[in-house]
């Protein structure tokens, strides 16, 4: 992979790499690896039971309540279909 960076940024990265005794490729690879690893770890974090229930209740609250009854008569199923 090749990445083109502004000269100022590349210079700053080279200076920082030199300060820690690494070449720029190794230094940038370590920075990216740490960043991506942190993001992957955050994405796979599991929720506690309480967090899950709170989120589920929030989703349920967005929907109107139902009395559990449904009109499945032929007339309701085909209403507006030209019959």
- pLDDT for residue 23: 94
Q: Is residue 19 in some structural domain?
A: yes
**In the numeric block, which tokens belong to residue 83?**
């019959």
Higher pLDDT, 6 or 63: 6
For residue 10, which phi and psi values (nearest 5 degrees)?
-60, -40
Domain range spanning residue 52?
1-58
Kindly state whether residue 12 falls inside one of the protein's structural domains.
yes
Grade residue 44 by pLDDT with cuts at 50, 70 and 90. low
Count of the separate structural domains present in the chain: 1
Mention every residue, 6+ apart, whose C-beta is less than 8 A from residue 23.
Answer: 17
Yes or no: say if 31 and 41 are a contact pair by the CB < 8 Å rule. no
């Amino acid at each position: 992979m090749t990445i083109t960076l502004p000269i100022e940024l590349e210079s700053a990265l080279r200076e920082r790499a030199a300060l820690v005794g690494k070449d720029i490729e190794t230094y940038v690879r370590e920075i990216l690896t740490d960043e991506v690893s942190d993001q992957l770890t955050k994405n796979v974090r599991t929720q506690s039971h309480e967090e899950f229930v709170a989120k589920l209740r929030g989703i349920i609250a967005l929907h109107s309540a139902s009395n559990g009854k449904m009109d499945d008569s032929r007339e309701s199923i085909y209403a507006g279909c030209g019959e």
